[in-house]
A and B are shown apart, each in its own frame.
Chain A
Amino acid sequence: EAQVTQNPRYLITVTGKKLTVTCSQNMNHEYMSWYRQDPGLGLRQIYYSMNVEVTDKGDVPEGYKVSRKEKRNFPLILESPSPNQTSLYFCASRIAGGQLYTQYFGPGTRLTVL
């Protein structure tokens, strides 16, 4: 089954404690991205990756890092989380150059930073 998986699905942490949210896809997609969803703001792109070792900033990259060492994985790293990063996070993937309607989203990770 074609899917994007994220772990963990729920996470409560404290300010300053480094964390990583993993994202993995089994569709051999080149393009992967991270979004955050906040009330009244919709989904905003954090980072994206066109392929292995190629990453770039989205609209709201501050406070986040990513890496793309393997095609299937695109982890999101919060080196020093702060309460304003409390949000619902989605990973997505698609074929590079493919139609946007072919983009698949993961189930989401709800992060709370105390």
Chain B
Amino acid sequence: DQQVKQNSPSLSVQEGRISILNCDYTNSMFDYFLWYKKYPAEGPTFLISISSIKDKNEDGRFTVFLNKSAKHLSLHIVPSQPGDSAVYFCAATGSYGKLTFGQGTILTVHP
């Protein structure tokens, strides 16, 4: 059973516009959420995270929003740049510290 779901396999956006990547989870024990970015032929790298005690965390062009009642989080990238084109993984964890990943969303930002 997929406890973390990214229902959009791909997303295409024009440079300068906003990219919104979505993630849903089912396990109410998850209390910490992360986004990873992965370029081809490289390993995933940490992008941004949010604790369940917050509903928003911002880092430059990247903002993560958490809606606990809906068990939903989203990653906003504003403005999007061609270098943001990558696979984005949502991940979640509870107190046990094990990461559960979503399926990933391929973001393509067109110049």
Bind each other: yes
Interface of B is mostly: loop
Instruction: Report the count of interface residues on A (CB-CB < 8 A).
Output: 21
Stretch in contact with the other chain, from A13-21, A35-43, A62-70, A72-80? A35-43
Does B101 reach chain A (CB closer than 8 Å)? Answer: yes
B17-42 residues with Cβ-Cβ distance < 8 A to A are 32, 34, 41-42
Does B4 reach chain A (CB closer than 8 Å)? Answer: yes
Q: Which residues of B contact A4 (CB under 8 A)?
A: 43
- From B2, B89, B93, A100 is in contact (CB under 8 Å) with B93
Known contacts A43-B89, A45-B98, A100-B49, A107 near B43 by CB under 8 Å: yes
Instruction: Report the count of interface residues on B (CB-CB < 8 A).
Output: 23
Does B60 reach chain A (CB closer than 8 Å)? Answer: no
- From A48, A90, A100, B43 is in contact (CB under 8 Å) with A90
CB distance from A11 to the nearest CB of B (A): 15
A56-107 residues with Cβ-Cβ distance < 8 A to B are 58, 90, 92, 100-107
The answer to whether B46 touches A103 (Cβ under 8 A) is yes
The answer to whether A108 touches B98 (Cβ under 8 A) is no
A-B contact pairs, 16 of them (CB 8 A): A42-B4, A42-B6, A42-B102, A43-B44, A43-B91, A43-B99, A43-B101, A48-B98, A100-B93, A100-B97, A101-B49, A103-B46, A103-B99, A107-B41, A107-B43, A108-B43
